[in-house]
Structure 1
Amino acid sequence: MNEARLVIFDLDGTLLNTIADLAAAANAALQANHFPVRTQAECQRFVGNGINKLLERALPQGHKTPQDVANMRPAFFAYYDEHLTDQTRPYPGVKELLVKLQAGGVKLAVASNKYQSATRRLIKHFFPEISFAAVLGQRDDVPVKPDPAIVEEILWASGAQKQNVLYVGDSDVDMQTAHNAGVRVCAVTWGFRSREELMSYKPDFMTDTPAEIADMVD
């Protein structure tokens, strides 16, 4: 990569292990609406496409309707906004990677399908020492990933060219987002999807540890 190197990170399952708090919020919403709760393993399969899709997937058969999802949203947000850092933690080695990349002059950004306010709060809470070029989550006026709009917005904000960009994520959604945006992609194996599933999307790189990502940028 040349000047204006940029690494775009997914959030959930890539920078932060958020699944316990997401599952707790989903179950709080299910209980508030008198539906059976889900296991954390089930919720891990439900995440990746935004909160509405998480809630739709968590609902039982026969109740996956727009109205049922809308009914679930207030309880989900009320719980998650109060508890989003209870059990969430950065994955081992992530902070060290971000510090190293920043020290090396690499621009950093976050592209998430988590709603914007929670995305910004989590980044500020766990990575206060990192100056991100952009921290973007799901917003009503922007299509969710795998639509490439969020990547295009980050490219505009950072001034980076596509050939100098590496997108890092843990899910099929991330692989598709990078491919749709025309940027290189690294699949991480510590997140919410299996190595086999990630391989089927033919990422440019795959890694088991954050430290290896620094070498991909260099």
Structure 2
Amino acid sequence: MIKYLIFDFDGTIVDSASLYLNLCNELAEQLNKPKIDMDTIRSMSSMTIKERCKKMGIPLYKLPSLSLIIQDKIKHHVDKIQWMDGMEEVLYKLKNKGYKLLMISSNSVQNINHFLKSKNADIFEDIYTSKGLFDKSKSINKLLKKRHLKKEEVIYIGDEYRDIIACKKSRIKIISVTWGYDSKDLLLSRNPDYIVDSPSELYNLILEL
């Protein structure tokens, strides 16, 4: 029986795509790189991170440091982040059903707490940050160990193919959501345990598990 729900942040419970786009374009201007638009972002949703970096001319090894720069900029614009349609209601309903809600994100704990506080959202019992873009399994394992959780009682909810890879590595189940950064085809190519197309479908699935 599932008791603990580990959520991703960006692209899963909040819509931060427009903010990321604006901040990335600010950074691109500083680095003399071409700017991108939302259509370009959508066209890359079926690409892996490595493929996206190649398309944009960004060396993969620079991505972690660039990500930290963006996170630092985000803290000044948290008010521009909004709930994904329907997710706030689903989170409260799940909490009221007795599920324990946790979070692991590549975003900073400071930014996430700032957002939740601005929305008066006392929902999550604990928030963990994944310090690298490709080592989320380490954060998952750390959370499981710290809270003495049984893997069969835990499920992860995320929107990216790298979430699926991390969960398989940590041997926990995952529900992939299709309203985030990665396309449904890309998610399916990594064989998630479950995949849902709407917050209401997510809620109903969790109740069945």
Mapped pair 1:18 → 2:12: no
In 1: Cα distance, 2:62 partner to 2:94 partner:
44
Q: Deviations over 1:31-89 (max 9, x none)?
A: 1233321223444648xx9xxx89x939953x63867985x678645642212332x21
In 2: Cα distance, 1:15 partner to 1:25 partner:
20
What letter is aligned with 2:53? R
In 2: Cα distance, 1:113 partner to 1:106 partner:
23
Q: TM-score, normalised by structure 2?
A: 0.81
Mapped pair 1:37 → 2:32: no
Residues 6, 108 of structure 1: 8 Å contact kept: yes
Residues 71, 108 of structure 2: 8 Å contact kept: no
In 2: Cα distance, 1:179 partner to 1:101 partner:
24
Between the aligned residues of both structures, percent identity stands at 20
Q: State the match for 1:80 in structure 2.
A: 74
Q: Give 3-state SS (helix, strand or coil) of 2:76's partner.
A: helix
Q: TM-score, normalised by structure 1?
A: 0.78
Number of residue pairs the alignment of both structures matches: 203
Q: Deviations over 1:155-181 (max 9, x none)?
A: 234442100111111110111111111
TM-superposed deviation, 1:127:
5.7
In 2: Cα distance, 1:150 partner to 1:198 partner:
21
Q: Deviations over 1:74-107 (max 9, x none)?
A: 8645642212332x21111111111111111111
Q: State the match for 1:148 in structure 2.
A: 137
Q: State the match for 1:198 in structure 2.
A: 187
In structure 1, stretches of 5+ residues that fail to align are none
Q: State the match for 1:176 in structure 2.
A: 165
In 1: Cα distance, 2:54 partner to 2:118 partner:
28
Q: State the match for 1:93 in structure 2.
A: 86
2:128 to 120, 128, 136: 136
TM-superposed deviation, 1:201:
1.3
